[in-house]
Amino acid sequence: MSSLIEVKNLHVEVEGKEILKGVDLTIEPGKIHALMGPNGSGKSTLSNTLMGHPKYVVTKGSIHFNGTDITALSTDARAKMGMFLAFQYPTAIPGVSVTNFLRTILKSLRGKEIPVKDFRKELKEKMDLLEMKDSFAGRYVNEGFSGGEKKRLEILQMALIQPKFAVLDETDSGLDIDALKIVSEGINRLRGPEIGMLVITHYQRLLNYVQPDIVHVLVQGRIAETGGKELALELEAKGYEWIETKAGVQA
C-alpha cells in the first residue's frame, strides 16, 4: 500500500530555535496513528508543520502527501489537496454562524457555490451522524461554546470536508469524560479505508475510545519509540522517563 503521508528527516525551527530534530513518520490510508509525548516534545510543532503554518520553518527534510512533495506549499494548498487539522484551541468567531462558516469552507474547497438546499441536506446528514442538535448550526462559531462543543464542531468540519488525512491536535484537551466519549464516537464514525489520521494526545484516556493502529512517542523533537496500542498503556503505567532513558535522552 502506498503512503499517504511520508515525513523524512524533518527538522523544524520556531523563532530560530530547533524544535523537531529529525522526525521520520509514514502513515497509510485507513490507519490511525497516535502521537504521544511529554509537554514541549514537539507534538504541536509537528501538527502545525504538517499543515504549513508559516511560523514553523523547515530547515531540513521533507513532507510528502500522496507522493507529492508539499514541504513548501501553503496551508490552503494543502487543505485543497485533502489535509485537515483539528485545533487544540479552536478560535471563536463572533457574528458568524456555524452554518455560514461551514458553507464558506466547502465553497472554498470545492471551488463553487453550493445550493442552499443541497448544503442543508448535507449538513443535516453529518450532524445526525454525530448526534448533534439542529440548533447548533445557528450559533456563532465557538462563541460561548463549552470545550466539548468546540471539539465537536472540529469533528463536524472533518465530516463535511471528508479529508484524506486529518491531524487531531490534542482533541481530548480540556474535555470531561462525557464530552470525551462523544467526541471519540464522532472520530470512530469517520474512520475508514480512505482516510488516515494522526491523533496527538498527552494521555492514554483518548486511546481507550479511539483505538490506534500504531503509537509513536515523541521526545525532545525525535520519535523515540514506536509500537502497537499496548505502548500507550505502558506509558500510562511507567510515564515518559523510561522512554527517555531507553533513547538516551536527557529529560
- Res 244 pLDDT > 80: no
What is the spatial distance between Cα 202 and Cα 43, in angstroms, rounded to a whole number?
9
DSSP-assigned beta bridge partners for residue 68: 65
For the stretch 80-92, pLDDT in tens is 999 999 988 899 9
Would you place residue 175 in the very low, low, confident or very high pLDDT band (cuts 50, 70, 90)? confident
- Res 148 pLDDT > 70: yes
What domains are there in the chain, each with its CATH number?
A: 5-95+163-247 (3.40.50.300)
Between 60 and 248, name the one with better pLDDT: 60
What string of DSSP letters covers 12-57? EEETTEEEEEEEEEEE-TT-EEEEE--TTSSHHHHHHHHTT-TTEE
- Res 251 pLDDT > 50: no
Q: How high does pLDDT run on average in the chain?
A: 92
Between 68 and 128, name the one with better pLDDT: 68
Looking at residues 192-204, what average pLDDT do you find? 92
For the stretch 202-223, pLDDT in tens is 888 889 999 999 999 999 999 9
Of 87-91, 155-159, 225-229, which gets the smallest average pLDDT?
A: 87-91
Of 78-82, 227-231, 241-245, which gets the smallest average pLDDT?
A: 241-245
Question: What pLDDT was estimated at residue 239?
Answer: 84
What is the spatial distance between Cα 48 and Cα 51, in angstroms, rounded to a whole number?
5
- Res 10 pLDDT > 70: yes
